[in-house]
Structure 1
Amino acid sequence: MAYDVSQRIKNAYATFSKGQKKIANVILSDYDKAAYMTAAKLGIHVGVSESTVVRFANELGFEGYSEFQKAVQDLVRTKLTPNQRIEITKQRLGTGDILEKVMESDISKIRYTLERINRESFYRSVDSILSAKKIYVMGARSTESLARVLYYNLSLIFDNVKFVQPNSTAEVFEQMFSIGKDDVMIAFSFPRYSSKMVSAVKYAKQNGAKVVVFTDSETSPLAEYATELLIAQSDMASFMDSFVAPISIINAIIVEITGKREKEIIERFDKLERVWDEYEVYTKR
């Protein structure tokens, strides 16, 4: 809903009461500040009651203030520059034990993701990986790190995995030139969304491949091209996003694949261990 919350407000503006227009004006002009206020604090800031704030969210079609607030926070994350993110994070976390606050926040992201992830989509994603002729994995900018984690682990157990280097758009398409209906593309994109990733998943979809998308919302620009959507919460942690939830999903995918192909994977690792020992890949300590 990040992409339509501001438009919803603009569309309904003429029907708002005087108090609701005050809320709308603050959201549209200072959404970065309002996004992390409780309904009570936003009411005080605007000069209306808490109940007026809640009714405002309901009139926009949200089930409650928390859902509305999440949509505004998503809007913030898609628009803010790194310096603005740093300032917002400082306001949110304040002072004190930053380590505890950040780690507690990360724990809540995993819990939130677990409660809301589509399990059928998760298991279908695993099946798509297992049945694919070729597995393409891609992330760009900050999400390249997520893609590399998945690629590294998949490449240990399969020979048909390709990491799509997020270079120029032309080079991306050259690497994906042969993608087709028997293949799967696994793509990672979180705010601020990479236009290169949108183009890549669109290309994969147009060529008949299954597309598994890791992202933060159904309104992500990649969602319309996804065969399977794996949604993970990834709120800001200073200028960077926290990716603990998508990493946890990656872990679950690898564990599920291992369980389904245990015998073959054990045999493969036996061979790998012999190679690692022979060439002293790892230290003895």
Structure 2
Amino acid sequence: MNSEYRKKIQRVYSRLTRSQRKVAEFIIDNPSKITLMSADQLAKASGVGEATVIRFARILGYKGYSDMKEEFQRALIDNLTSSKKVEEGLKSVSSETVLDELLKTHTAVFQNMNVAELTKSLKNAAKIIFEANDVYVFGEGAALVPAMELSFWLNRFGKKTWLFGTTGRSFFEHVVNIRKNDVSIGFAYRKINFELRILFSETRKRGGKNILFTDQALNQLCDLADEIIVTDRGGIGSYRSMAIPVIMSDALLFEFAAINETSLENLRNLERIRREYGYE
């Protein structure tokens, strides 16, 4: 367990009732399990009533159990290495239930989405891209997957798009070319990337706009973003999938194609040129 949250529990431990201490001890002994449990499940595992779990969360300073669970999830995942995330995932399922568990967690994310709000954000993001000159897309590590998807199709739709697939010194070779009315799009999940903050800062300074894909409504990059698309991600245990970010990327592409009349024309021209040179 993250030492910060262990200390938070220790500070209030002397004030807890016997039942509340059972909840505290279960959380300390099983930090990864709480991230997957409902209040009722945690209550049963601790041998107490659900009301005790909710009161315990409030004693720690949260509005309710869901707020406590969400913060514990972030803390746990932020402090796990990649090997630990996969290890936690393997522990939580058997080989026969992997697909079923992934489908369940992703379905739960979709069911909890505010589709109307997301659609509004995606339409606004598509409008920003449509009105922009060039587009710069950034994604590091696993986040490179939706970033590649987005940049690949925007280029095919006729919007000049540059993909940032690296960090370090070479990263700045694209940043220096950003101009007024360009747009930068970043995929940032869990940990904040230093280069993405630089990209957004430079884009803003030069008169451009920024679009942020994230799973944290209070992401530190939000103050630099002109549009924010917030979605949770499914997964197994502490492992988080990029399937939903890819779907959000696809949704943005279709919103863009719907308002960009030349999208289909560019695809047809590509097909025509390939046929002319025997690449059907």
Indicate the SS of the match to 2:113: helix
Indicate the SS of the match to 2:228: strand
Structure 1 runs, 4 residues or longer, greater than 6 Å off: none
Residue type matched to 1:278 in 2? E
2:128 counterpart residue number: 128
| Residues 52 and 252 of structure 1, relative CA distance in 2, 3 Å threshold | same
Residues paired across the two proteins, number: 277
Residues 1:275 and 2:273 are matched in the alignment: yes
1:218 counterpart residue number: 217
The offset of 1:250, in angstroms, is 1.5
2:141 counterpart residue number: 141
The offset of 1:145, in angstroms, is 1.4
Residue type matched to 1:201 in 2? F
Whole-Å separation in 2 of the counterparts to 1:156 and 1:134: 14
1:256 counterpart residue number: 255
Instruction: State whether residues 136 and 163 of structure 1, in contact with CA within 8 Å, keep that contact through their aligned partners in structure 2.
Output: yes
1:103 counterpart residue number: 103
Residue type matched to 1:109 in 2? V
TM-score, normalised to structure 1, is: 0.81
Deviations 1:51-106 (A, max 9, x none): 11112234556554234323322222222112321232234334643222222322
TM-score, normalised to structure 2, is: 0.82
1:81 counterpart residue number: 81
Whole-Å separation in 1 of the counterparts to 2:201 and 2:192: 14
The offset of 1:13, in angstroms, is 3.5
With 175-184 and 188-197 compared, the bigger mean Cα shift is at 188-197
Indicate the SS of the match to 1:274: helix
Residues 1:194 and 2:186 are matched in the alignment: no
| Residues 227 and 21 of structure 1, relative CA distance in 2, 3 Å threshold | farther
Consecutive unaligned residues of structure 1, counting only runs of 5 or more, are none
Instruction: State whether residues 142 and 242 of structure 2, in contact with CA within 8 Å, keep that contact through their aligned partners in structure 1.
Output: no
Residue type matched to 2:51 in 1? S
With 227-236 and 129-138 compared, the bigger mean Cα shift is at 227-236
Indicate the SS of the match to 1:211: strand
2:158 counterpart residue number: 158
Consecutive unaligned residues of structure 2, counting only runs of 5 or more, are none
The offset of 1:10, in angstroms, is 6.6
Residues 1:209 and 2:208 are matched in the alignment: yes
2:68 counterpart residue number: 68
Whole-Å separation in 2 of the counterparts to 1:181 and 1:7: 48
The offset of 1:29, in angstroms, is 7.1
| Residues 95 and 164 of structure 1, relative CA distance in 2, 3 Å threshold | closer
Instruction: State whether residues 140 and 197 of structure 1, in contact with CA within 8 Å, keep that contact through their aligned partners in structure 2.
Output: no
Whole-Å separation in 2 of the counterparts to 1:240 and 1:12: 30
Whole-Å separation in 2 of the counterparts to 1:252 and 1:41: 35
Instruction: State whether residues 85 and 238 of structure 1, in contact with CA within 8 Å, keep that contact through their aligned partners in structure 2.
Output: yes
Residue type matched to 2:258 in 1? G
Residue type matched to 1:149 in 2? E
Indicate the SS of the match to 1:136: strand
Whole-Å separation in 2 of the counterparts to 1:275 and 1:40: 61
Residue type matched to 1:172 in 2? F
Deviations 1:91-135 (A, max 9, x none): 433464322222232233333335485443222211110001211
1:54 counterpart residue number: 54
| Residues 266 and 221 of structure 1, relative CA distance in 2, 3 Å threshold | same
1:182 counterpart residue number: 181
The offset of 1:147, in angstroms, is 0.5
| Residues 269 and 94 of structure 1, relative CA distance in 2, 3 Å threshold | closer
Instruction: State whether residues 110 and 244 of structure 1, in contact with CA within 8 Å, keep that contact through their aligned partners in structure 2.
Output: no
The offset of 1:151, in angstroms, is 0.2
User: Please, what is the CA RMSD of the aligned residues?
Assistant: 3.2
Deviations 1:162-205 (A, max 9, x none): 1123231x322231113244111000121344333333333333
Whole-Å separation in 1 of the counterparts to 2:149 and 2:231: 16
